[in-house]
Amino acid sequence: MNQLLLVAPVLLPIAGGILMLMIPEKEARVHPIFTELIVLASSAMIWAVLFTGREQGNGAVLFSMAGNLKVFFRMDGMGAVFSGLVSVLWPLATLYAFEYMEGDRRGREFFAFYTMTYGVTLGIALSGNLVTLYLFYELLTLVTFPLVLHDRTKEAIRASRKYLYYSIGGAAFAFIGLVFVLIYGSTADFTLGGVLNKGVPGFDTNVILFMYVLAFFGFGVKAALFPVHSWLPSVSVAPTPVTALLHAVAVVKSGAFAILRLTYFSYGADFLKGTWAHYVVLGAVLVTIVYGSTMAVKEVHFKRRLAYSTISNLSYVLLGAVMMSAAGMAAALSHLVFHAFMKICSFFCAGAVMHQAGRNYVYELDGIGKKMPVTLACFTIAGLSLTGIPLFAGFISKWNIAQAAVGLGGIPGFLAAGVLLYSALMTGIYMMTVVVRAYFPKEGYDETALDGVKEPGWRMLTPIVIFAAVILFFGLYSRPLFHFLQQTAGGSGI
Amino acid sequence: MEQDFLLLLPIFFPMAAGILTLALAKAKMGRKAKLTVVFGALVLELLFTILCLMRGDVSVTLWQLTDTIRISFHVDTISRIFAGLSVSVWLLVGCFAFSYMSHEEHEERFFGFYLIVEGALTALSFADNMVGFYVFFEVMTFTSLPLVLHEMTKPAIMAGLKYLFYSVAGAFMALFGIFFLAGYGAIGSFQAGGILDASATAGHEGLLLASAFMMIIGFGTKAGMFPMHGWLPTAHPEAPAPASAVLSGVITKMGVLAVIRVVYYVIGPDILRRTWVQTVWMILTLTTIFLGSMMAYKEKIMKKRLAYSTVSQVSYILFGLSLLHPAAFIGAIAHVIFHSLVKNTLFLGAGAIIYKTGKTKVAELRGIGKEMPVTIWCFTLVSITLVGIPPTSGFVSKWYLATGALSSGTGVFSWLGPVILLISALLTAGYLLPVTIHGFFPGADYDYGSLEKREPSALMTVPMILMTMGAVALGMFPGVILNAASAAAELLF
A393-423 pLDDT, tens digit each: 999 999 999 999 988 878 888 899 999 999 9
At A67 the pLDDT is 67
Which of A325-339, A385-399, A476-490 comes out lowest in average pLDDT?
A476-490
- Whether A421 sits inside 8 A of B168 (CB atoms) is no
DSSP secondary structure string for all residues of B35-64: HHHHHHHHHHHHHHHHHHHTT-S-EEEEEE
Q: CB contacts < 8 Å between A and B, how many? A: 76
| Closest in A432, A476, A478 to B164, CB measured | A432
Quote the minimal CA–CA distance from B243 to chain A in Å: 17
- DSSP secondary structure code for residue A488 in this structure: H
Residue A182 φ then ψ, to 5°: -65, -35
- Give residue A492's pLDDT band: very low, low, confident or very high (50, 70, 90): very low
- Whether A425 sits inside 8 A of B66 (CB atoms) is no
Interacting residues of A285 by C-beta distance below 8 A, sequence separation 6+: A225, A315, A318, A319, A322
**pLDDT tens track for A164-220:** 999 999 999 999 888 888 888 887 788 888 888 887 887 888 999 999 999 999 999
Residue A227 φ then ψ, to 5°: -100, 20
At B433 the pLDDT is 93
Residue B203 contacts A, CB cutoff 8 Å: no
Q: In B, which residues are within 8 Å of A441 by CB distance?
A: 152
Helix axes A4-22, A107-126, angle to 10 degrees: 160
Whose CA is closest to B60, among B115, B92, B12, B108?
B12
In angstroms, what CA-CA distances link A415 with A297, A331, A347, A404, A421?
Answer: 21, 17, 30, 12, 10
Is the pLDDT reported for residue A375 higher than 80?
Answer: yes
| Burial class for B480, CB neighbours closer than 10 Å (0-12, 13-18, 19+) | exposed
Quote the minimal CA–CA distance from A358 to chain B in Å: 24
Q: Which residues of A61-88 are buried (b: 16+ CB within 10 A; e: fewer)?
A: ebeeeeeeebbbbbbbbbbbbbbbbbbb
pLDDT higher for A25 or A252?
Answer: A252
Handedness of CA A349, A355, A358, A360 (dihedral sign): positive
- Whether A425 sits inside 8 A of B168 (CB atoms) is yes
Quote the minimal CA–CA distance from B198 to chain A in Å: 18
| Burial class for A453, CB neighbours closer than 10 Å (0-12, 13-18, 19+) | middle
At A105 the pLDDT is 77
Q: In B, which residues are within 8 Å of A428 by CB distance?
A: 164-165, 168
Interacting residues of B29 by C-beta distance below 8 A, sequence separation 6+: none
The residue in chain A having the minimum alpha-carbon distance to the alpha carbon of residue B133 is A390
Residue B135 contacts A, CB cutoff 8 Å: yes
The residue in chain B having the minimum alpha-carbon distance to the alpha carbon of residue A479 is B66
> DSSP 3-state assignment of A72?
strand
Specify the long-range contacts of residues A409-414, CB closer than 8 Å, at least 24 apart.
A412/A279, A412/A282, A414/B180
B391 prior amide bond cis, ω within 30: yes
State the amino acid at position B305 in one-letter form.
Answer: R
Neighbours of A37 (CB within 10 A): 11
Neighbours of A162 (CB within 10 A): 16
| Burial class for A487, CB neighbours closer than 10 Å (0-12, 13-18, 19+) | middle
Task: Compute the distance between CA of residue B285 and CA of residue A199 in angstroms, rounded to an integer.
Answer: 63
In angstroms, what CA-CA distances link B355 with A205, B190, B405, B460, B469?
Answer: 76, 44, 42, 10, 23
Task: Compute the distance between CA of residue B206 and CA of residue A394 in angstroms, rounded to an integer.
Answer: 30
> DSSP 3-state assignment of B389?
coil
Beta-strand pair B59-64/A59-66: unpaired
**pLDDT tens track for B388-444:** 988 889 999 999 999 999 998 888 999 999 999 999 999 999 999 999 998 888 887
Kindly list the domain boundaries of chain B, sorted by start residue: 275-493
Neighbours of A479 (CB within 10 A): 13
Whose CA is closest to B332, among B311, B318, B313?
B318
pTM equals 0.92
Task: Compute the distance between CA of residue A310 and CA of residue A362 in angstroms, rounded to an integer.
Answer: 17
DSSP secondary structure string for all residues of A76-107: -HHHHHHHHHHHHHHHHHHHHHHHHTTT-TTH
Quote the minimal CA–CA distance from B180 to chain A in Å: 6
Task: Compute the distance between CA of residue A282 and CA of residue A25 in angstroms, rounded to an integer.
Answer: 49
Whose CA is closest to A251, among A236, A264, A263?
A236
State the amino acid at position B112 in one-letter form.
Answer: G
Answer for the pair B464, B352: CB distance below 8 angstroms, yes or no. yes
Is the pLDDT reported for residue A479 higher than 80?
Answer: yes
Task: Compute the distance between CA of residue B269 and CA of residue B273 in angstroms, rounded to an integer.
Answer: 6
The three-state (H, E, C) secondary structure of B277-319, written as one string? HHHHHHHHHHHHHHHHHHHHHHCCEHHHHHHHHHHHHHHHHHH
Q: In B, which residues are within 8 Å of A421 by CB distance?
A: 172-173, 175-176
> DSSP 3-state assignment of A127?
strand
Neighbours of B311 (CB within 10 A): 26
Beta-strand pair B70-74/A69-74: unpaired
Task: Compute the distance between CA of residue B375 and CA of residue B353 in angstroms, rounded to an integer.
Answer: 8
A window 79-138, beta carbon within 8 A of B: none
**pLDDT tens track for A243-253:** 888 888 888 99
Answer for the pair A445, A364: CB distance below 8 angstroms, yes or no. no
Residue B184 contacts A, CB cutoff 8 Å: no
pLDDT tens for chain B, residues 1 to 493: 678 888 899 999 999 999 999 998 888 888 888 899 999 999 999 999 999 998 888 888 888 888 888 899 999 999 999 999 999 999 999 999 999 998 888 889 999 999 999 999 999 999 999 999 999 999 999 999 999 999 888 899 999 999 999 999 999 999 999 988 888 888 889 999 888 888 888 888 888 999 999 999 999 999 999 889 999 999 988 999 999 999 999 999 999 999 999 999 999 999 999 999 999 999 999 999 999 999 999 999 999 999 999 999 999 999 999 999 999 999 999 999 999 999 999 999 999 999 998 889 988 888 888 889 999 999 999 999 999 988 889 999 999 999 999 998 888 999 999 999 999 999 999 999 999 998 888 887 777 777 778 888 889 999 999 999 999 999 899 998 999 999 999 988 8
Residue A83 φ then ψ, to 5°: -70, -40
A window 374-403, beta carbon within 8 A of B: 384, 387, 389-391, 396, 399, 402-403
**pLDDT tens track for A274-305:** 899 999 999 999 999 999 999 999 999 999 99
At B323 the pLDDT is 93
Enumerate helices (H) and strands (E) in chain B, giving the number of each.
21, 2
Q: What's the distance, CA A21 to chain centroid?
A: 26
| Closest in A390, A406, A476 to B180, CB measured | A406
At B1 the pLDDT is 61
| Closest in A396, A433, A476 to B63, CB measured | A476
DSSP secondary structure string for all residues of A377-443: HHHHHHHHHHHT-TTSHHHHHHHHHHHHHHHH-HHHHHHHHHHHHHHHHHHHHHHHHHHHHHHSPPT
Whose CA is closest to B227, among B247, B246, B213, B245?
B213
Torsion angle (degrees, nearest 10) of CA B12, B16, B19, B21: -120
Answer for the pair B398, B388: CB distance below 8 angstroms, yes or no. yes
